[in-house]
């Protein structure tokens, strides 16, 4: 099963992608997470991506398309994939469709996580990530038992460099300019569902599970 998770920054893509991966057993790939790793390791892609990420703008399509082509050649993803954060532009979506079609594949579910900009911005400003286990926490919703330490594994919590008000604003501008047209591209093509994520995380998780079970029953 191939699932694409779309949504504005702060819509909950990372949180729910990890849960979908647990539920389905499929590998979860976050383009943002992989890019942050590449930046840290100073790989060729990381060096090219850094200035765009720091500025809150998107990494150019040519780099992202080369990245996805290489990724999809990995046999780990033969049984399916949960893609979180990719595609983000119309050319990326078209490129992905072509790569999948060349392998005789197509997306089974394109899921838009929908949230208002104000609610998403509030979430981003109180979001922290565990440097050890990668868990995403929201301190406004649930403060940690020991401040700065992950409740799940005891690792140290980090705030993403781009989760500051000015960069968040720029990321929303990019979303409206580049990603919203891509959402319309998918909306018109079937297999497209929307879930409102401006609700308690467990209610959203249950709705996503129900949806995945329906899609999986229909595709098996």
Per the annotation, the verdict on 189 as an active-site residue is: no
35 binds ligand AMP (CB under 6 A): yes
Per the annotation, the verdict on 13 as an active-site residue is: yes
Contacting ligand AMP within 63-102 (CB under 6 A): 64, 85-88, 92
* Strands annotated E in 74-191: 81-84, 109-114, 127-130, 136-138, 157-158
Per the annotation, the verdict on 187 as an active-site residue is: no
**Closest approach of ligand AMP to the CB of residue 178, in Å:** 8
Contacting ligand AMP within 108-167 (CB under 6 A): 162
**Which one from 50, 160, 187, 209 is the annotated catalytic residue?**
160
Per the annotation, the verdict on 214 as an active-site residue is: no
59 binds ligand AMP (CB under 6 A): yes
Q: Which is nearer to ligand AMP, 63 or 216 (CB)?
A: 63
**Which one from 19, 36, 88, 123 is the annotated catalytic residue?**
88
**CA–CA–CA angle 195, 199, 205 (5° rounding):** 60
The answer to whether residues 9 and 172 touch, using CB atoms and an 8 Å cutoff, is yes
Cα dihedral angle (212, 5, 116, 191), rounded to 10 degrees?
-60
Q: How many CA atoms lie within 13 A of 209 on its CB side?
A: 11
Instruction: Find, among 52, 5, 6, the residue nearest to 175 by Cα.
Output: 6
7 binds ligand AMP (CB under 6 A): no
| Kind of pairing between the strands at 81-84 and 28-30 | parallel
Which residues here bind ligand AMP, judged by CB under 6 A?
Answer: 9, 31-32, 35, 52-53, 56, 58-59, 64, 85-88, 92, 162, 171
So which residues are the catalytic ones? 13, 88, 127, 160, 171
């Amino acid at each position: 099963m191939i699932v694409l998770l779309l949504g504005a920054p702060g819509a909950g893509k990372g949180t729910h992608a990890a849960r979908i991966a647990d539920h389905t057993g499929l590998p979860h790939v976050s383009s943002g997470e992989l890019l942050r790793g590449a930046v840290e390791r100073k790989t060729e892609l990381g060096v090219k991506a850094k200035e765009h990420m720091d500025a809150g703008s998107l990494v150019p399509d040519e780099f992202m398309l080369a990245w996805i082509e290489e990724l999809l050649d990995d046999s780990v993803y033969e049984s399916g994939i949960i893609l979180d954060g990719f595609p983000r532009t119309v050319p990326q979506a078209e490129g992905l469709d072509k790569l999948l079609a060349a392998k005789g594949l197509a997306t089974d579910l394109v899921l838009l996580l929908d949230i208002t900009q104000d609610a998403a911005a509030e979430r981003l400003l109180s979001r922290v990530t565990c440097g050890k286990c990668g868990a995403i926490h929201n301190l406004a919703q649930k403060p940690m038992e020991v401040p700065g330490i992950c409740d799940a594994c005891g690792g140290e919590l980090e705030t993403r460099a781009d989760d500051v008000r000015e960069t968040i604003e720029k990321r929303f501008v990019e979303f409206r300019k580049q990603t919203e047209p891509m959402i319309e591209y998918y909306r018109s093509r079937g297999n497209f569902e929307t879930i409102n994520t401006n609700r308690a995380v467990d209610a959203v998780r249950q709705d996503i599970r129900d949806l995945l079970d329906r899609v999986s029953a229909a595709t098996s």
